[in-house]
Amino acid sequence: MNRRELFFKHLGQTSTAPLALEITRAEGCWLYGDAGKKWLDAIGGISVCNTGHRHPEVVHAIEEQAGRYLHLLVYGELVQSPQVDYATALIEKLPPSLDSVFFTNSGTEATEGAMKLAKRITGRMSVAAFEHSYHGSTQGALSIMGDEYWRNAFRPLLPGVAHLRYNRDDDLEQITEKTAAVFAETVQAENGVIKPRPAWMKLVRKRCDDTGALLILDEIQAGFGRTGKLWGFEEYEIVPDILMLGKALGGGLPLGAFISSKKRMDAFTENPVLGNISTFGGHPLSCAAGLASFRVLFKESLVTQVAEKEKRFRQALAHPHIKDVRSAGLLIAVEFESAETCKRIVDKCIRDGVLTDWFLFAPHCLRIAPPLTVSTEEIDRICEVVIRHL
């Protein structure tokens, strides 16, 4: 059997029709296969590779850390310089009330940890989230996912979860003194890049303040410059009680985190002790890679370039056969009349060397979320291939 056949035979599958492209190498914004095949990566590993695939400084950091040590002990027991240095670097770029980082293996685990922390602090059992939101796929994260199609097959899930309508002022009344936390994305990515009204985000913040609920903002896709600001919440002039990070956090390696105040985070240290633990959370290789990638964002001024690159995409994608283009920096949804049309165009783009896909809650929208390092020539290439198949 060849490797592709073994892929289907021995690996658990997530759908009946995976892309099944065999990638042998990746660099910058490009993926390479055998026999000279290559694809321009228009989705950046789903908003993971913000500084591109295998950035030299990230690769060097991984090699350097691998020469020191790999896994030592469960997270939180030993002083590991990659964890300490990365947490310190993150805190320096965050508001003062977000000064304690808990590293996890993934964004989903950040959701689970944030939910536990909110319940532990408030003593409340109910949680509010929003329709068409995505916060991960484990049982707790799935419980607050905002779409019944994805939840229904795995019931029973967590009780006490209210799913509110995003951007609707009147639904905020369902946040009460019984609500432990409100989970919200600063941009609804999987809903086809839906941005909240700034006034609404401020109302969410105020409602949480009034009821004592904690505001947990999900920046797993929107963080690290993706929206044109380092953190998506900066656009709305609010600060969350807990911030969730993932995807680009690890610079291409698996890493997640939730960040809050030191006072809140200390709730995990007693009653019970070891209130949240992880064997591999904050793995030293992942933290070293993430810190290197984080530094590249500033060294190469990648965040400040996002707005101009976003503008170039929007101009190039202006076409009568495109129903709408929605964007939050370099997180872009190209909307078509139907999911069938989108799927046809996605397939043809991949055939012609541009890797793209669709959104979980918006299958009629094509996803564009390239590395922030994408060049003007690469932007033009992506758009030319999409337009060619309209």
What are the structural domain ranges in the chain? 3-54+304-388, 57-298
CA atoms of 107 and 112, how far apart (whole Å)? 9
Q: Which CATH architecture has domain 57-298?
A: 3-Layer(aba) Sandwich (3.40)
Nearest to 130 by CA among 144, 113, 115: 144
What does the pLDDT average to over 341-348? 97
> How far is the C-alpha of 245 from the C-alpha of 258, rounded, in Å?
6
pLDDT tens-digit readout, 147-190:
999 899 999 999 999 999 999 999 999 999 999 999 999 999 99
Query: In terms of pTM, does the model score above 0.85?
Result: yes
Fold of the 3-54+304-388 domain: Aspartate Aminotransferase, domain 1 (3.90.1150)
Q: Which of 264, 334, 260 is nearest to 42 (CA)?
A: 334
pLDDT surpassing 90 at residue 321: yes
Integer-rounded Cα Rg, in Å, for the chain is 21
Cα–Cα distance, 238 to 351 (Å, whole number): 43
Q: How far apart are CA 174 and CA 126, in angstroms?
A: 11
In which band, very low, low, confident or very high, does the pLDDT at 9 lie, cut at 50, 70 and 90? confident
pLDDT at 14 over 90: no
